Amino acid sequence: AKHEVRTGDVFYIPAGRVHAIGKGIRLLEVQQSSDVTYRIYDYDRLDFNGQPRELHTNLAVQALDFQVYKEYRSEYQENTNTANLCLDTEFFTVRVVDIEEPIRRNMVKYDSFIIQSCVEGECKIRIRSTQDEVTLRQGYSCLIPAAIADYDMIPATPHAKVIESY
Protein backbone atom coordinates (compact mmCIF):
# COMPACT_ATOMS: atom_id res chain seq x y z
CA ALA A 1 0.00 0.00 0.00
CA LYS A 2 1.21 3.49 -0.81
CA HIS A 3 0.75 6.24 1.78
CA GLU A 4 0.80 9.91 0.84
CA VAL A 5 2.79 11.78 3.48
CA ARG A 6 2.33 15.21 4.97
CA THR A 7 4.65 17.34 7.07
CA GLY A 8 4.61 16.03 10.64
CA ASP A 9 3.54 12.48 9.78
CA VAL A 10 5.05 9.72 11.91
CA PHE A 11 5.20 6.09 10.86
CA TYR A 12 6.38 3.41 13.28
CA ILE A 13 8.02 0.62 11.28
CA PRO A 14 8.98 -2.27 13.59
CA ALA A 15 11.39 -5.00 12.47
CA GLY A 16 9.90 -7.26 9.82
CA ARG A 17 7.64 -4.66 8.21
CA VAL A 18 8.49 -4.03 4.57
CA HIS A 19 8.89 -0.35 3.76
CA ALA A 20 10.41 2.01 1.23
CA ILE A 21 10.85 5.76 1.19
CA GLY A 22 9.52 7.49 -1.91
CA LYS A 23 11.34 10.02 -4.02
CA GLY A 24 11.49 13.58 -2.71
CA ILE A 25 10.69 12.76 0.93
CA ARG A 26 12.86 14.27 3.67
CA LEU A 27 12.60 12.39 6.94
CA LEU A 28 14.15 11.74 10.28
CA GLU A 29 14.69 8.04 10.92
CA VAL A 30 14.98 6.98 14.56
CA GLN A 31 15.92 3.37 15.11
CA GLN A 32 17.52 0.89 17.45
CA SER A 33 21.10 0.07 16.46
CA SER A 34 21.17 -3.03 14.29
CA ASP A 35 23.60 -4.61 11.87
CA VAL A 36 20.80 -6.37 9.96
CA THR A 37 19.06 -5.12 6.84
CA TYR A 38 17.36 -7.52 4.47
CA ARG A 39 17.16 -5.99 1.01
CA ILE A 40 14.31 -7.53 -0.99
CA TYR A 41 14.34 -5.02 -3.86
CA ASP A 42 16.89 -2.30 -4.60
CA TYR A 43 15.51 -0.23 -7.49
CA ASP A 44 18.38 -1.46 -9.68
CA ARG A 45 20.94 0.52 -7.66
CA LEU A 46 24.61 -0.31 -8.06
CA ASP A 47 27.36 -0.62 -5.45
CA PHE A 48 30.72 1.20 -5.53
CA ASN A 49 32.03 -1.30 -8.10
CA GLY A 50 29.09 -0.79 -10.47
CA GLN A 51 27.51 -4.12 -9.52
CA PRO A 52 23.93 -4.71 -8.33
CA ARG A 53 23.77 -4.80 -4.54
CA GLU A 54 23.06 -8.14 -2.88
CA LEU A 55 19.42 -9.01 -2.24
CA HIS A 56 18.36 -11.08 0.78
CA THR A 57 14.97 -12.44 -0.31
CA ASN A 58 15.26 -15.86 1.35
CA LEU A 59 16.31 -14.39 4.70
CA ALA A 60 13.68 -11.64 4.45
CA VAL A 61 10.82 -14.10 3.97
CA GLN A 62 11.68 -15.69 7.33
CA ALA A 63 11.62 -12.31 9.12
CA LEU A 64 8.67 -10.58 7.45
CA ASP A 65 5.50 -9.52 9.22
CA PHE A 66 2.84 -10.40 6.65
CA GLN A 67 -0.06 -8.89 8.63
CA VAL A 68 -1.80 -5.94 6.98
CA TYR A 69 -2.70 -3.15 9.40
CA LYS A 70 -5.60 -0.73 9.14
CA GLU A 71 -3.40 2.31 9.83
CA TYR A 72 0.35 2.85 9.79
CA ARG A 73 0.51 6.50 10.88
CA SER A 74 1.10 7.24 14.56
CA GLU A 75 -1.16 9.86 16.15
CA TYR A 76 0.23 12.30 18.71
CA GLN A 77 -0.70 15.57 20.41
CA GLU A 78 0.76 18.80 19.05
CA ASN A 79 0.74 21.09 22.08
CA THR A 80 3.10 24.07 22.22
CA ASN A 81 5.85 24.53 24.84
CA THR A 82 5.84 20.93 25.96
CA ALA A 83 7.30 17.59 24.87
CA ASN A 84 4.52 15.65 23.13
CA LEU A 85 4.90 11.87 23.32
CA CYS A 86 4.96 10.46 19.82
CA LEU A 87 6.37 6.92 20.17
CA ASP A 88 7.26 4.90 23.24
CA THR A 89 8.68 1.51 22.25
CA GLU A 90 10.76 -1.00 24.16
CA PHE A 91 13.83 0.30 22.27
CA PHE A 92 13.38 4.09 22.09
CA THR A 93 11.09 7.02 22.85
CA VAL A 94 10.35 9.93 20.51
CA ARG A 95 8.75 13.24 21.50
CA VAL A 96 7.89 16.29 19.41
CA VAL A 97 8.87 19.52 21.16
CA ASP A 98 7.21 22.58 19.61
CA ILE A 99 8.41 25.73 21.39
CA GLU A 100 7.66 29.43 21.33
CA GLU A 101 9.18 30.14 24.77
CA PRO A 102 12.01 28.56 26.81
CA ILE A 103 11.34 25.19 28.43
CA ARG A 104 13.39 23.01 30.75
CA ARG A 105 14.11 19.38 29.86
CA ASN A 106 15.50 17.40 32.79
CA MET A 107 16.11 14.00 31.20
CA VAL A 108 18.73 12.63 33.62
CA LYS A 109 16.24 10.12 35.09
CA TYR A 110 16.12 8.24 31.76
CA ASP A 111 19.84 7.35 32.02
CA SER A 112 20.19 7.68 28.24
CA PHE A 113 21.78 10.04 25.80
CA ILE A 114 19.26 12.38 24.20
CA ILE A 115 19.26 13.34 20.53
CA GLN A 116 17.62 16.65 19.66
CA SER A 117 16.91 17.10 15.92
CA CYS A 118 15.60 20.46 14.74
CA VAL A 119 12.97 20.17 12.00
CA GLU A 120 11.66 23.78 12.01
CA GLY A 121 13.15 27.12 12.99
CA GLU A 122 16.09 27.21 15.36
CA CYS A 123 16.70 27.02 19.09
CA LYS A 124 19.47 27.08 21.63
CA ILE A 125 20.19 24.21 23.97
CA ARG A 126 21.81 25.37 27.23
CA ILE A 127 23.18 22.75 29.62
CA ARG A 128 22.23 23.79 33.16
CA SER A 129 25.33 22.43 34.95
CA THR A 130 27.89 24.13 32.69
CA GLN A 131 25.91 26.85 30.87
CA ASP A 132 27.41 25.51 27.63
CA GLU A 133 25.17 26.37 24.73
CA VAL A 134 24.69 25.18 21.19
CA THR A 135 22.42 26.60 18.49
CA LEU A 136 20.36 23.96 16.76
CA ARG A 137 19.23 24.94 13.26
CA GLN A 138 16.72 23.22 11.00
CA GLY A 139 18.27 20.03 9.63
CA TYR A 140 20.83 19.68 12.44
CA SER A 141 20.98 17.34 15.45
CA CYS A 142 22.72 17.42 18.81
CA LEU A 143 23.60 14.45 21.04
CA ILE A 144 23.42 15.23 24.75
CA PRO A 145 25.21 12.73 27.04
CA ALA A 146 23.09 11.14 29.78
CA ALA A 147 25.25 12.62 32.55
CA ILE A 148 24.38 16.22 31.57
CA ALA A 149 20.85 15.74 30.24
CA ASP A 150 19.36 18.62 32.24
CA TYR A 151 19.04 21.56 29.88
CA ASP A 152 16.91 24.43 28.65
CA MET A 153 15.56 24.73 25.13
CA ILE A 154 15.31 28.36 24.09
CA PRO A 155 13.72 29.31 20.75
CA ALA A 156 15.97 31.54 18.61
CA THR A 157 13.19 32.07 16.09
CA PRO A 158 9.55 32.83 16.98
CA HIS A 159 8.81 29.12 16.66
CA ALA A 160 11.00 26.01 16.70
CA LYS A 161 10.14 22.33 16.42
CA VAL A 162 12.55 19.67 17.64
CA ILE A 163 12.32 15.88 17.63
CA GLU A 164 13.63 14.45 20.89
CA SER A 165 14.81 10.82 20.84
CA TYR A 166 16.26 8.64 23.58
Name the H helices within the chain. 57-63
pTM of the model as a whole: 0.86
The helix (run of H) or strand (run of E) holding residue 80 is none
Cβ neighbors of 95 (< 8 A, separation 6 or more) are 83, 84, 85, 86, 163, 164, 165
| pLDDT given at position 20 | 87
Cβ count near 31 (within 10 Å): 10
pLDDT < 50: residue spans in the chain: none
Write out the catalytic residue numbers.
39
Asked if residues 46 and 52 have their Cβ atoms less than 8 Å apart, the reply is: yes
| pLDDT given at position 22 | 86
